[in-house]
């Protein structure tokens, strides 16, 4: 017997009968490295690859400025 869905965000068609409770709980407890970008930044860097490339460029620039040897 099923009960009516009281959550408006979940459709009745969703089937959680094979779901495993707490499957990723330990991984979640270990933390995450997600960063939320402001909308204006996300417009310029729409993918993780774009963000990482820009940050790596800044890292290299900073390292070059610290070490002025040719």
pTM: 0.52
Confidence label for 12 from pLDDT (cuts 50, 70 and 90): confident
Q: Both tokens of residue 5?
A: 């869905």
Residue 17 lies in a domain: no
How many folded domains does the chain comprise? 1
DSSP labels for 20-45?
-TTTTHHHHHT-----PPPHHHHHH-
**Beta-carbon-side half-sphere exposure of residue 32 (alpha carbons within 13 Å):** 9
Q: How far is CA 41 from CA 47, 55, 70, in A?
A: 11, 12, 34
Domain span at residue 54 reads 36-70
Residue 56 lies in a domain: yes
Top-confidence residue, 54 or 11: 54
What CA–CA distance (Å, rounded) separates 37 from 40? Answer: 8
Residue 14 lies in a domain: no
Residue 41 lies in a domain: yes
**Residue 11's pLDDT is what?**
84
Chain segment 13-70, per-residue pLDDT in tens = 888 899 999 999 998 888 878 889 999 999 999 999 999 999 999 999 999 888 776 6
Residue 46 lies in a domain: yes
Top-confidence residue, 5 or 32: 32
């Amino acid at each position: 017997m099923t009960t009516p869905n009281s959550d408006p965000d979940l459709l009745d068609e969703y089937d959680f009968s094979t779901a495993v409770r707490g499957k990723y709980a330990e991984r979640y407890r270990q933390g995450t490295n997600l960063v939320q970008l402001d909308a204006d930044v996300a417009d310029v860097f729409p993918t993780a690859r774009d963000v990482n490339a820009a940050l790596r460029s800044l890292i290299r620039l900073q390292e070059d400025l610290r070490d002025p040897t040719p």
